């Protein structure tokens, strides 16, 4: 039965035919406002669903997650096909966002699709008695724990919302630019306090401000 279930899961790969047709088509529409608006809407919806999923226990979250992950994977595939190696080129001004998008999508695919498939294959390869090597089971369990922890990468999808909404992106850029100015103000403040501390120590602490024969209470110093 486990083998049959595994073969049924392989039917999903039939969808690759549709992907092949899309990859052979003109993908200039990926740069049109309609596609960008659609992706931005999906990201916004995903942000709301993640908050609801945190507090509400519902079996339907799993299926919604699969739909959203399919859309994100589709977006990454068509963009890679559209831009090729330039998508990850250092000359691309959006390389930071692109690498973040790729990391989010790949980690989600591993957690939602690859890991469950690996679990199924491991169960299929077990002997009829259901016994397996304990050491291998421990190692595999540790790997699964790491993959579950990688599920937290989904939270980074909220960062995609900043990229999708232009006013938010401009606000973040402005805040970052302002932070650079604040850093230099902080440096100037520290240098000024340091210089004033040296001057005060030499004038008062070393008694350069007082006559040589003057007696100054140590409490004042």
Torsion, Cα 165 167 173 176, to 10 degrees, reads -100
Cβ count within 10 A of residue 69: 18
Residues 61 and 55: their CA atoms lie apart, in Å, by 12
Residue-wise pLDDT tens for the chain (221 aa)?
555 655 555 665 666 666 667 667 778 888 888 898 899 899 889 889 988 988 898 989 989 989 999 999 989 988 988 888 899 999 998 898 899 889 888 888 888 888 788 877 777 776 555 455 554 554 556 665 666 666 666 777 778 788 778 888 889 889 988 898 899 999 999 999 999 999 888 887 777 777 767 676 666 65
Q: CA-to-CA distance for 78 and 20, rounded, in angstroms?
A: 11
* 36 within 8 A of 165, measured Cβ to Cβ: no
User: CB of 53 within 8 A of CB of 61?
Assistant: yes
Instruction: Report pLDDT for 1.
Output: 54
Q: What is the pLDDT of residue 141?
A: 60
């Amino acid at each position: 039965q486990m083998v049959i279930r595994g073969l049924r899961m392989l039917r999903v790969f039939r969808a690759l035919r549709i992907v092949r047709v899309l990859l052979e088509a003109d993908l200039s529409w990926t740069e049109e406002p309609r596609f960008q608006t659609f992706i931005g809407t999906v990201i916004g919806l995903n942000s709301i669903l993640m908050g609801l999923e945190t507090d509400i226990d519902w079996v339907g979250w799993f299926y919604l997650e699969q739909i959203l992950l399919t859309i994100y994977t589709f977006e990454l595939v068509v963009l890679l096909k559209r831009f090729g190696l330039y998508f990850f080129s250092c000359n691309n001004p959006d390389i930071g966002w692109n690498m973040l998008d790729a990391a989010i999508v790949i980690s989600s695919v591993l957690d939602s699709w690859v890991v469950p498939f690996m679990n199924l294959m491991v169960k299929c390869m077990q002997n009829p008695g259901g016994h397996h090597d304990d050491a291998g089971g421990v190692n595999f369990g540790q790997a699964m724990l790491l993959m579950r922890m990688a599920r937290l990468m989904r939270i980074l999808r909220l960062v995609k919302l900043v990229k999708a909404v232009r006013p938010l992106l401009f606000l973040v850029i402005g805040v970052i630019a302002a932070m650079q100015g604040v850093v230099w103000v902080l440096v100037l403040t520290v240098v000024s306090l340091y210089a004033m501390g040296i001057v005060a120590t030499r004038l008062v602490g070393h008694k350069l401000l007082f006559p040589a024969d003057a007696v100054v209470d140590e409490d004042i110093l």
